[in-house]
Structure 1
Amino acid sequence: MSHIYIFSPSGAVRDQAAFRRGVRRLQALGHQVEIDPGALLSHQRFAGDDAERVAAVARAAASGADVALMARGGYGLTRILPGLPWKAMAKAAARGTRFVGHSDFTALHLGLLAQTGAVSWAGPGLTDDFGGEAEPDEIMAACFDDLLLGQGEGTGWRLPTARGAAAAVADPALERLRARPVLGATLWGGNLSILVSLLGTPWWPEVRGGVLFLEDVNEHPFRIERMLTQLLHAGVLARQKAVLLGSFTGYRLTPHDRGFTLATVVQRLRGLVEVPVLTGLPFGHVPTKVLLPMGAKVDLALEGRDAWMVWGHA
């Protein structure tokens, strides 16, 4: 049985039925679920005012829990980054508390890595991933169990089949990765919008030679390209050993796009950078997501269309 601490550092929990379902499901699995006293607060669109949410993060760090799990994402963490107890969170991580979340939680992940070097986990949230009307995704749930049991050692996935004219052209960067795996690189990244918003701030980790993973939701491909281009012009992409693209969901193409799609964005990106760009990473605002150790050392290999990332040795 694991001790799971539920807290709300970002948006207010509007779907309290999903919150309660998520808690019940975790309890049914035998876990001790502790709910932060501010988890269901509401101030404007936030789960409490800024000071209340800073206090919630501090309580999560002091909880001694095996996992400090976000209730939901939304928006709010970037407002409170200057006040977060980074040293206390790093000490909690060293004692074994895994901070888990995604979406807006990316700001906490990146800030913790930048400020302390501590590892946290990009992964599910309570309401969307454990509290939905359908049962939690089996792969996500299995990965979460592995984290609790200390058994997670890596993940693998198959790159989607290439389409269009680019299908007949072998990507030189991918061929180099097939011939020479990436070894001992720092894994980092998360939600693209949040990540770009931290560029140039004290909560931006200066990772060189890393493996950068990205995802987003409700962002049209032209906005995704604009953010990727910012990372390109800032030199961030060129300093990585690989870029992994997860799920980009929730957008709608229009007749005005005239064939401009996410595949167009990826094809252009591959033509602009020398590092391998891998698609299909099972992570993002989707039910099937793996858990990824933010700040850990990983090995990355590609065999045919099968990608493998290992961190169990780190």
Structure 2
Amino acid sequence: MPKRLDIRLLAPSGYPDDRAAFERGVERLRAAGHRVHGEEVLERVMLRFAGSDAERAADINRFADPSQPLPDMAMAVCGGYGAIVLLEHIDFDGLARRFENESCVFVGHGDFTAIQCALYARSGILSLHGPMLVRDFGGPYLREDMWRHFWQTVLSPSTDVSWACGDDARVRVEGTLWGGNLSALCSLVGTSYLPKLDDGILYIEESGEQAWRIERMLFELKLGGALDGQRAILIGGLGGQRVSEYDNGYDIEHALQRFGQACGLPIVRGLAFGHGQDKWTLPFGAHAVLDAAGGTAHLSVMNYPYVRE
């Protein structure tokens, strides 16, 4: 890795319960030449959270404090639940002022989606929807494609992703790339923390939810106005469903088909991000061009904060 980064760890949601994976992730980052700070979040546990609400909010508000030097990157250690509780306590005005002339790359996924949405909607701060410390960098095996694409995205002003999407996808749009975990997005519907875009390319993923819950949350986005102005929807992993006898064959395919007919937007599937083991890094709030045809989709993303050499 050509540049040595200062990386600060954040735990705005659940506490990291796998100490070995935490330490393995830190060691891999340090072995790549980077400086890692904030390991004390490993020791904070309050109920199911990585510390009190005040402690976790303070971790983010330190980036608004001009007396505190900004790291190159702020990386979430894990997801869980708890980020939404912090939103009323975050100094978004102070963050907006601080980030006018300075930058720091925020990265995470899952419950961190709530923080990313709020940073963009309230402070105009872009971030990266990408791997986290414990499950991704601290896993038993490091996914080389994930690692390589993450650093390519972090260290350059543009990135590209190509994947197999199914022969029925025919899309050519451009706009603002944003999104994340479906349940986290739905938790912000009707609030000032959910971005309102008239040119959005929305990406969605979820883990461990039943097909009918997925359909209900998708319709919640639609009925709540979150899909107004969207130009296309990218669907990532939606694994973990169990089909019961009562479902009579209803599964995630039916849920997506029903939603697709109702929303009237182009839907492209197969993009790996979020909770899956393999994942691409997606710049939240950046300009993107999506092109899908002949069973292959290509996403080009540009104009987002990155770490300069």
**Residues 197-237 of structure 1 deviation map (CA, whole Å, 9 limit, x = unaligned):** 10011211111221010001111110000011112223333
Shift, 1:182, TM fit = 1.1
Corresponding position: 1:128 with 2:135: yes
1:153 and 2:159 correspond: yes
Q: Which residue of 2 aligns with 1:32?
A: 35
- When normalised by structure 1's length, the TM-score is 0.89
d(CA) in 2 for partners of 1:70 and 1:63? Answer: 18
User: What residue number does 1:270 align with?
Assistant: 260
Give the alignment's Cα RMSD to 1 decimal. Answer: 1.9
1:93-133 CA-to-partner distances (Å, cap 9, x unmatched) read 85231100000000000001110222111111100001112
Q: Match for 2:235: what amino acid?
A: L
The secondary structure found in structure 1 opposite 2:150 is: helix
Q: Letter of the 1:66 partner, please give it.
A: D
Tell me the secondary structure at the aligned position of residue 237 of structure 1.
coil
Q: Which has the higher helix share?
A: 1
The alpha-carbon deviation at position 141 of structure 1 amounts to: 0.5
Counterpart of 1:257 in structure 2 is 247
CA gap of 1:313–1:205, structure 2 versus 1, over 3 A, is closer
3-state SS of paired residue (1:38) = helix
Question: In structure 2, what is the equivalent of residue 99 of structure 1?
Answer: 106
Structure 1 distance, partners of 2:125, 2:286, is: 9
Q: Deviations over 1:156-211 (max 9, x none)?
A: 211146xxxxxxxx5xxx44x2xxx212x111110100101100112111112210
Q: Which residue of 1 aligns with 2:221?
A: 231
Following TM superposition, the consecutive aligned residue runs of length 4 or more in structure 1 with deviations greater than 6 angstroms are none
Change (3 A) 1:63 1:256: farther
Displacement, 1:293? 1.0
Return 250-259 or 138-147, whichever deviates more.
Answer: 250-259
Q: Bigger CA drift: 254-263 or 10-19?
A: 254-263
* Partner residue, 2:84: 78
Q: 2: distance between equivalents of 1:36 and 1:50?
A: 18
**1:248 maps to amino acid:** L
Please name the residue that 1:42 is paired with.
Answer: 45
- Pick from 68, 76, 86 the counterpart of residue 74 of structure 2: 68
Letter in 1 for 2:173: V
- 2: CA distance, partners of 1:292 / 1:17: 27
Say which SS state the counterpart of residue 287 (structure 1) adopts: coil
Structure 1 gaps of 5+ residues are: 162-169
Q: Which runs of 5+ in 2 are unaligned?
A: 305-309
| Contact residue 64 and residue 92 of structure 1 kept, 8 A | no
% same residue: 38
- In structure 2, the CA distance between the partners of 1:238 and 1:204, relative to structure 1 (3 Å rule), is closer
Structure 1, 201-210 or 143-152: larger mean CA deviation: 143-152
Q: Does structure 1 retain, via aligned residues, the 8 Å contact 2:189–2:226?
A: no
Q: CA deviation at 1:263?
A: 1.0
Equivalent residues of 1:71, 1:126 under 8 A apart: yes
Contact 2:157 2:303 in 1 (8 A): no
The 8 Å contact of residues 286 and 303 in structure 2, kept in 1 or not, is answered as no
Match of 1:21 in 2: 24
One-letter amino acid of the counterpart of residue 56, structure 2: R
Name the CA distance, whole Å, in 1 between partners of 2:129 and 2:12. 15
TM-score normalised by length of structure 2? 0.90
**Aligned partner of 1:294 among 281, 284, 293:** 284
Q: Which residue of 2 aligns with 1:5?
A: 8
Match of 2:307 in 1: none
